[in-house]
Chains A and B, each alone.
Chain A
Amino acid sequence: MPGSREGLGAEVFRELSTEVWRGLRVLFSKPSAIMINIITAPLWLAFFILTLRGFGVLTLGKLILQLFLWAAYAFALYSSWLWGFGGGIIEEGYEDILENVMSAVNNVFIHIIGWGIAYSIYTLLDLAALALSFYVVFGITIEVRDPLLLILSIILASLQLLLISTIYAMLVIRLRSNWVITDIMQFLMPAWVG
């Protein structure tokens, strides 16, 4: 019946919007932490570049720096999704929030997708912080040839990381020191995928 299908669609959309809004409120509930992340990002970048100097790398061209910016964003995405999103699901599991979601009328799938959409929006701050850092430290601005392709890439990467982080969280939730594995995975995964 078309009417009931539309009703179901509207219900799912309403639930999803509620979950996205809830996720955003949780993520933006500590503005001081966000500000600290943005302010300290150039310091981490300066440390990274100085350490390369320690290895003997004396000069870096503009193109290399642009590549570093996107590599840093890819690393930040993996790190953020595993720690923030995956860790968030694990925390919800420990605090019995997931159990409550499952026992209530809400759908766990919608809960996770909604949280994922909110998290995707939040990770744009990582890109902003990195862009600001590269500008402050090197005077480099992001060069984007095809903005549409960039947006599509970010959406696809977020979708992929949403699924990876969810599977990862389900695999390690029962382990005692799962943060150790997260710490290792955040280095291994970006290296693994090139």
Chain B
Amino acid sequence: MSLPWRKRSSGWSVMKVNRSSSLDALFAVMVNELKIISREPGGLALLIILPYFIAGGMAFIASFFVKVTSGVFIRQFIGFEVLMLSMIMMQTGARFLWEEKRGGRLEFLLASPISMYVILLGTSLVMILVNVGAFTIASLPLFYVEYGLIGALRLALALLLLFIGLLPLYGIGLLIAGLVMRLNDADSVTNVLTPILTILSGTTYPVYVLPWWIKELIYALPMYITFYSMYLESTGHEEPTIIIYLITSAVIYLLLGMTSYARLERGFRSRGI
């Protein structure tokens, strides 16, 4: 915590104190968010087993028509994981702001000395860490069985790509937050956007079968690139160009999300919540 005597000293110390207090605040937000999430351990368990149900169920149906190899199953499994975590990540920012607004806490958060950017960063980082953790636990056995020890190492790199890939999705979530707040209905917006973005994810099917304009939309969104880079990494065919594309997309979508949120917050402060 910052001490008063340090605040009265040189400008450098003030800057250091501010940075330290922001980090303290970020840590406090993250701990609080983690406590909220851990209240429902069943939800965390579901994050791990649900991809097996969905990918397994689809593989079961497909097995009536074709032979589903382990390689195909792992590719589809990664696809479903990326899709599921993307949907969660995109809803995180919008849901957080909506719940806080509905619970009457958003006004207090805006009035608090902690910047809303620190709060949003803290909540999103926790969600990203939880998602990456769930992916690790769910995928490790599959990777190990299919690729051996080298597979577990590749998984570590794939996790890093997942971490990067979830960042732009949070940015998109902040864009969606603007829509949710304007329409004043989180459920309807989510129910409309989820199937559209699921189709546009391109993570569980060959995108070349789609019309060119849908393909362009899929390439412009970060889900497919995240999935594809992770899949290439897991098979040992990493492609630096795709990773650079992913990082660029993270920067662009985060900037877009932050800009959109800044406008939203300006609106809150001038017109009220």
Chain A positions near chain B (C-beta within 8 angstroms): 32-33, 36-37, 39-40, 43-44, 46-47, 50-57, 60, 176-177, 179-181, 183-184, 187, 191
Instruction: Name A56's closest neighbour in chain B (CB-CB).
Output: B66
Q: B76 → chain A, closest Cβ, in Å? A: 6
Q: A124 → chain B, closest Cβ, in Å? A: 20
If A33-B187, A55-B58, A55-B76 touch, whether A50 touches B196 (CB-CB below 8 Å) is no
Complex alpha-carbon distance, A55 and B54, angstroms: 13
User: Number of residue pairs across A and B with beta carbons under 8 Å?
Assistant: 87
Asked if A54 contacts B206 (CB within 8 A), the reply is yes
Asked if B195 contacts A55 (CB within 8 A), the reply is no
Chain B positions near chain A (C-beta within 8 angstroms): 40-43, 45-46, 49-50, 53-54, 57-62, 65-68, 72, 75-76, 79, 187-188, 191-192, 194-196, 198-199, 204-206, 209
Complex alpha-carbon distance, A36 and B187, angstroms: 10
**Looking at the complex, which one of B49, B72, B192 makes contact with A36 (CB distance below 8 Å)?**
B192
Residues on the B chain within 8 Å of A40, using CB: 191-192, 194-196
If A33-B188, A40-B195 touch, whether A51 touches B57 (CB-CB below 8 Å) is no
Give 10 A-B contacts (CB < 8 Å), ordered by A residue.
A37-B191, A40-B195, A43-B195, A50-B204, A50-B205, A51-B76, A54-B76, A54-B205, A177-B42, A180-B45
> Secondary structure at chain B's binding surface: helix, strand, loop or mixed?
helix
Complex alpha-carbon distance, A181 and B41, angstroms: 12
Residues on the A chain within 8 Å of B41, using CB: 177
Residues on the B chain within 8 Å of A36, using CB: 188, 191-192
Q: A157 → chain B, closest Cβ, in Å? A: 21
Residues on the B chain within 8 Å of A191, using CB: 57, 60
Complex alpha-carbon distance, A56 and B69, angstroms: 10
Instruction: Name B41's closest neighbour in chain A (CB-CB).
Output: A177
Instruction: Name A181's closest neighbour in chain B (CB-CB).
Output: B42
Q: B227 → chain A, closest Cβ, in Å? A: 11
Asked if A177 contacts B43 (CB within 8 A), the reply is yes
Asked if B72 contacts A55 (CB within 8 A), the reply is yes
